A and B are shown apart, each in its own frame.
Chain A
Amino acid sequence: MISAKQLTKHYSDQVALNNLTLDIAPGEIFCLLGQNGAGKTTTINCFLGFVQPTSGQAFINGLNVTEHPIESKKYLAYLPEVVVLYPNLTGLENLDYFSRIAGFRHEKNELVMCLEAAGLKEEDGMKRVSAYSKGMRQKVGIAIALAKKAKALFLDEPTSGLDPKASNDFSELLLELKKDGIAALMATHDIFRAKDVANRIGIMKDGRLVNILDNNKNSLHAKEIEEVYLQTI
């Protein structure tokens, strides 16, 4: 579902992403660990078409992202680290707007269901986003992804700044989605979260994916991952 072939990105004299080859199947969550600047966000940006790779290709559902910038977006959803939204619109209005941009005209009750699935109460959905906490905005972001019924999910440090409860809810939601057959690529610093949800954990350094840990049966321990991580970087 999500696939990269020798994906490489150079910035003048710097290599942001070096020869990344990766395949994420439906129902699989792949977590990327790595220091800031290791290339996690660049990887996601390549899949979203925000960054043109210097060489190599990125595919979503078999579509080359560079060749099909609009078409490939139909199958993906994206959750950034900070979801800002439009502060003078309510959560529900924001959800409706972003869904319409993606080409969906959901009924109000469908939208409310998405909000609730993302962990936001209906009455909170009626409030303007300017009154929201970061966690609440993040939940609207998740609802936007849910409403799109995407097959490929890109998450860029989605839990940073969330309280443990919200973070845990988020993990559970991801596991649900995994069961439904979504493929997800998640960049994170949160080893515990990665351990909980990931089928595989990749560790990046200087634009390279240097280590991949198998966690298919949830067999890894956070301590182990941390050790490998510290050794790798």
Chain B
Amino acid sequence: MILTIAKQELRSSLREGRFKMAVILLSGLFLLSLFGAYDYYASLKKQHEEAAGTARRQWDNQEEKNPHSAAHYGTYVFKPIYPLSYFDRGVDGFTGNTLFLEGHRSNQSKFNAAEDRSDFARLASLTPAFVLGVLVPLLIIVLGFNAAAADRENGNLRLLMAQGVKPSALFWGKSLGLWAATLSIALPFFMAGAVGLLASGADNEHWLRYALILLVYMAYFGCFIHLSLLVSAWAGRPNVSLVGALSLWVLICLLVPKGAVNFARQLHPAPPWQAYHDAIKEDLKKGVDGHDGTDVFSKKLQEETLKKYGVDSVQHLPFNWAGFVMQKGEEHETYVFQKHKTKLLEVYQRQRQVHQLAAFISPYVLTGILSQRLAGTDVDTYFDFLAAAERYRVQLVGELNQDLTDNFKYGDWGGTRGKEFFAKNVRFDYQPPAFNDVLSGILPSMGILFIWLTISGLIAVLFFNKMKPV
């Protein structure tokens, strides 16, 4: 009986003009978004690879200079562009993928509010994830809103029940039919999406990631199938049902995601940019300045060092004082930047906790979190890259200062290093979060999504059972 109802539901949908229209419209949008996103991804990836190579070549081939001057010369690092970022661009558009590394300061590519995810600006960008996350649910609602309500209003429900249909069978049949209709459009999308992976020659891990993303979207569609049936059975009249289902869509896909971000910012405001940098400046004054040497902290360090080595002037130290004090200054600076960055990250972390709470209300938020995490375009992956870049900066600058300390005479600012030295400097080799860690990290969110799917289904069955034919 369930199959009969499902078949009927699908057949009815396929013969509806609005279904055909919606399919044509959605397919066009999806292909457009896929093409646009892939094109963007491919050119970005190419640019990045070129730029990353160029940056390192520039470093290797920089003109002869003092190692500390090289620290000021600086270099660029790039967050890798993952194959799936064309599918879900995530926060990449907000954060940028490029970071300038130099001595004395820890740059924060763009440590601004846009780092927090989800904005109306995001809604405006047509990506495959947008089509699947926002527009496909709309199609499901258009197909499902009168699944039960129309039958009830026009009396077919009475006829069906007189024929001995079980209300639960009606629910399962209708949801199965909606699934079939949804998949008839989603599966071609999924396959088209895979073409991008094929084209970029992704490895097995990324195919697995893609499969998981699809699983997430299927569960997400299931939530909307249940919701539209639930509302349809609850409302009992098609027009009420349509308004109800659309309201839920607005709530889940627009209001909650946007509201959660705003609410999180109000609840845990990040310090204003100016105040943040002033605070760093203040703290920087409270320690060794490698370039000054006249500040109290440098003098104190000098006294202690001279005493430790039992000499009366820095010239008699067994190492180059200039390099030593430069590294001490660097360590202080790193500590100050790290301290403030950690504080800021804590604020962001609290904001994101609020945001994650919103995922309980909105499967859209939940799906977004999961999809971005799997695509490697989420905030966590970005922060992981920032942390790795900072570790690399500390390492590189430390290496340069060490060379200055060990291999240069005091006062020898004219001494230089060339290609053979710089080419041997430590390289930035960023390893993105391991797939296993990503997987175990998303399990709770996956769990919530499937709980959402189950509970919405159970409530829908409940409403179908309660549905009165008169």
Residues of A whose CB lies within 8 Å of any CB of B are 45, 48-51, 70, 73-74, 76-78, 80, 82-86, 88-89, 93, 97-103, 141, 144, 148, 154
Is B5's beta carbon under 8 Å from chain A? yes
Q: Give the 7 A-B CB pairs with smallest separation, nearest first.
A: A73-B164, A78-B162, A84-B154, A88-B15, A102-B163, A101-B163, A100-B4
Complex contact A101–B155 (CB within 8 A) = no
Complex contact A89–B12 (CB within 8 A) = yes
Q: Which residues of B contact A77 (CB under 8 A)?
A: 162
Q: Tell me, in angstroms, the Cα distance from A45 to B163 when the chains sit together.
A: 14
Complex contact A144–B159 (CB within 8 A) = yes
16 more CB-based (< 8 A) A-B contacts, given A84-B155, A84-B156, A98-B160: A51-B470, A73-B162, A76-B162, A77-B162, A78-B158, A85-B156, A86-B12, A98-B163, A100-B1, A100-B4, A101-B1, A101-B163, A101-B164, A103-B1, A103-B164, A154-B162
Known A73-B164, A101-B163; judge A86-B470 contact (CB<8 A).
Answer: no
CB distance from A170 to the nearest CB of B (A): 17
Q: Which residues of A contact B154 (CB under 8 A)?
A: 84
Known A89-B11, A97-B8; judge A48-B1 contact (CB<8 A).
Answer: no
Complex contact B164–A50 (CB within 8 A) = no
Complex contact A74–B164 (CB within 8 A) = yes
Complex contact A86–B8 (CB within 8 A) = yes
Q: List 17 A-B contacts (CB under 8 A).
A: A45-B470, A48-B162, A51-B470, A70-B166, A73-B162, A73-B163, A78-B158, A80-B155, A82-B155, A86-B8, A97-B4, A97-B8, A98-B163, A100-B4, A102-B164, A141-B159, A144-B159
Closest to A42 in B: B470
Q: Tell me, in angstroms, the Cα distance from A211 to B350 when the chains sit together.
A: 77
Within 8 A of A (CB), among B259-311: none
Q: Tell me, in angstroms, the Cα distance from A70 to B160 when the chains sit together.
A: 11
Known A73-B164, A74-B164, A101-B4; judge A50-B470 contact (CB<8 A).
Answer: yes
Is B49's beta carbon under 8 Å from chain A? no
Q: Which residues of A contact B5 (CB under 8 A)?
A: 101
Q: Tell me, in angstroms, the Cα distance from A82 to B12 when the chains sit together.
A: 20
CB distance from B461 to the nearest CB of A (A): 16
CB distance from A222 to the nearest CB of B (A): 30
Residues of B whose CB lies within 8 Å of any CB of A are 1, 4-5, 8, 11-12, 15-16, 154-156, 158-166, 468-470
Complex contact B158–A50 (CB within 8 A) = yes
Closest to B470 in A: A50
Q: Which residues of A contact B161 (CB under 8 A)?
A: 48-50, 73
Q: Which residues of A contact B160 (CB under 8 A)?
A: 98, 101
Q: Tell me, in angstroms, the Cα distance from A73 to B166 when the chains sit together.
A: 11
Q: Which residues of B contact A45 (CB under 8 A)?
A: 470
Closest to A84 in B: B154
Complex contact A80–B4 (CB within 8 A) = no
CB distance from A197 to the nearest CB of B (A): 21
Closest to A93 in B: B11
Q: Tell me, in angstroms, the Cα distance from A48 to B1 when the chains sit together.
A: 20
Closest to B1 in A: A101
Q: Tell me, in angstroms, the Cα distance from A78 to B165 when the chains sit together.
A: 13
Q: Which residues of A contact B166 (CB under 8 A)?
A: 70
Q: Tell me, in angstroms, the Cα distance from A82 to B153 when the chains sit together.
A: 12
Q: Which residues of B contact A97 (CB under 8 A)?
A: 4, 8
Contacting residue for B159 out of A89, A93, A98, CB 8 A: A98
